[in-house]
Structure 1
Amino acid sequence: MEQQEQYKEVTIKTLLESGAHFGHQRHRWNPKMKRFIFEERNGIYIIDLSKTLQQIRNAIQVVMNTVSKRKSILFVGTKKQAKSLIRECATQCGEFYVCERWLGGTLTNLTTIRQSIKKLERIEKKIALNADDLTKKELSLLTKEQIKLDRNFSGIRSMRKPPGLLIVVDPSREHIAVAEAKKLGVPVMALVDTNCNPDPIDYIIACNDDALKSIKLILEALTHAILQRKQELKLTTAKEDLEEEDSSKEEQEGAK
């Protein structure tokens, strides 16, 4: 994803084009989502996109503020429609992600998770240094273990403390991740469909969380905001370093 070239601004029009307004069928709704519903059409709830747009604008400010505080962000989405986008967007903006399976304790028992990641690192090192000395069976077993561990932990390998924000696609599916975040006081932002309970979510984005285009549009907007703020911070830091260097030179010249 060439973020700067392909980034599509979120508007009512682009939300409509992505199908973000289509909720679930009437019999599958959660009444707590009523305030985000515009109308019912042919047995399907239609989400109020004017509210969604405002929620996205608010979400953009939240992610930018999180980056400004030098806190990390963890993207979570394991459903088929979301997993590749979760990995792609998080990687693009240099943040953490879980897109295969949420392992219980990923946040609340991070010490144990870190032990599994260290095991992965040991296996990788063993394969890299001793591949020629291993039997085919030994190498096969180690490789299988490596693939399994890498699939589960590749997106959080360098995460040594809980993130500053969780971004979730489908909080009903990722309810364990949401519960762990709430337990630790980590704020949760989520793409919430009409069948979800919005109560545990701090920053709600009411939308179709099943349509690939809808998920892509919103995640890319958040990714773009993260990258933008990181670039601004980088420029600010560079300017401060330059000013400090100039000040130091002036002091040295004055001392001569």
Structure 2
Amino acid sequence: MARTTYQELLDAGVHFGHLTRKWDPKMAKYIFMERNGIHIIDLNKTLAKLEEAASAIKQIVKSGRKVLFVATKKQAKDIVADQAKAVNMPFVTERWLGGMLTNFATVRKSIKKMSNIDKMTKDGTYDVLSKKEKLMIQRERVKLETLLGGIADLNRLPAALFIIDVKKEHIAVSEALKLNIPTFAMVDTNSDPTNIDFPIPSNDDATKSITLITNVIKQAIIEGLEERKRDKEEEAEKEAAAAKAKADSGEEEATEAAAPKRERKVEATEAKDGE
């Protein structure tokens, strides 16, 4: 079953690219035609690439790993944050900090600092501070939450990145490339798709287009999570059945081992009676 249709892509304006003078020649194979000075994306190729990307993301999530959503452009950040939260995935929607992946250990220290501030407010340490100190801590907490709130639960490097606008998020693409982290991205006609593992040729400026593509990725993640849950349940049932079979087998062995002892006891009783 297809996750979306050609008509849905058309209705969302996924086919509208950039002005022809702003194009990247490496996107030529995904361009259908030029109309009124604007490149039109081939939606048949978009559909195929989107299905390929969704299937790959589903397998990543099924294996129990995380996909980091990245979108800092104004028209995409709220959409992406909502979709990522819906499937409990990490996201970056404010500003990509240089070294967020390549210097992940330092980023984790900042996240730990944020959790330490939260502990201070709970254990009473915060209450004994001066008004000025409280204000400074509050400001720092807000800043950390804005920049790192979306990745607060990310304890290790993500297994993949899903990016809106690879031209704007070129630092994220570069870091993922260095660390061999697979990238999935909406790639418009003004961008270079060659550094992206799973490029999805699409309009990365219109909110309808971003919503549709991101929703398809979200649905693929949901499918992966559900399959992982089913697999775990089946595995648990198999383990329980195996444990039960082992227990039953142990009881049978104990019964068989006890049988000769009962026979010998009976024989001994009969012999005593005979005397």
- The question of 1:228 aligning with 2:232 is answered no
TM-score normalised by structure 1 residue count: 0.93
- The question of 1:88 aligning with 2:82 is answered yes
Residue 204 of structure 1 corresponds to 199
TM-score normalised by structure 2 residue count: 0.87
1: CA distance between counterparts of 2:127 and 2:175?
43
CA-based RMSD of the aligned residues comes to 1.4
AA in 2 matched with 1:51: K
Gaps of 5+ in 1: 1-7
TM-superposed deviation, 1:242: 1.4
TM-superposed deviation, 1:70: 2.5
> Over residues 96-128 of structure 1, what are the superposed CA-to-partner deviations in whole Å (9 max), with x where a residue is unaligned?
111110000100001111111111111222233
TM-superposed deviation, 1:154: 0.9
> Over residues 190-211 of structure 1, what are the superposed CA-to-partner deviations in whole Å (9 max), with x where a residue is unaligned?
1000111111111110000001
Tell me if the contact between 1:77 and 1:98 (Cα under 8 Å) persists in the aligned partners: yes
> Over residues 29-60 of structure 1, what are the superposed CA-to-partner deviations in whole Å (9 max), with x where a residue is unaligned?
11111111111111111100000000011011
Residue 19 of structure 1 corresponds to 13
> Over residues 176-233 of structure 1, what are the superposed CA-to-partner deviations in whole Å (9 max), with x where a residue is unaligned?
0000000001111110001111111111100000011101101111111111121111
Q: Tell me the SS of whatever aligns to 1:250.
A: helix
Tell me if the contact between 2:3 and 2:51 (Cα under 8 Å) persists in the aligned partners: no
> Over residues 52-94 of structure 1, what are the superposed CA-to-partner deviations in whole Å (9 max), with x where a residue is unaligned?
0000110111101112332221110100111112211111112
2: CA distance between counterparts of 1:132 and 1:154?
24
Equivalent runs, 1:1-256 vs 2, <5 Å: 9-128=3-122, 129-256=124-251
AA in 2 matched with 1:155: G
Residue 269 of structure 2 corresponds to none
1: CA distance between counterparts of 2:153 and 2:18?
37
Tell me if the contact between 1:127 and 1:139 (Cα under 8 Å) persists in the aligned partners: no
The structure-2 alpha-carbon separation of the partners of 1:152 and 1:78, relative to structure 1 and needing over 3 Å to count, comes to: same
1: CA distance between counterparts of 2:58 and 2:183?
15
Percent identity, please.
Answer: 42
Gaps of 5+ in 2: 252-275
Q: Tell me the SS of whatever aligns to 2:191.
A: coil
Larger Rg: 2
1: CA distance between counterparts of 2:48 and 2:224?
20
2: CA distance between counterparts of 1:184 and 1:9?
30
Residue 255 of structure 2 corresponds to none
Tell me if the contact between 2:24 and 2:189 (Cα under 8 Å) persists in the aligned partners: yes
1: CA distance between counterparts of 2:66 and 2:188?
25
Tell me if the contact between 1:37 and 1:46 (Cα under 8 Å) persists in the aligned partners: yes
Tell me if the contact between 1:90 and 1:223 (Cα under 8 Å) persists in the aligned partners: yes
2: CA distance between counterparts of 1:51 and 1:62?
17
Tell me if the contact between 1:110 and 1:160 (Cα under 8 Å) persists in the aligned partners: no
AA in 1 matched with 2:127: D
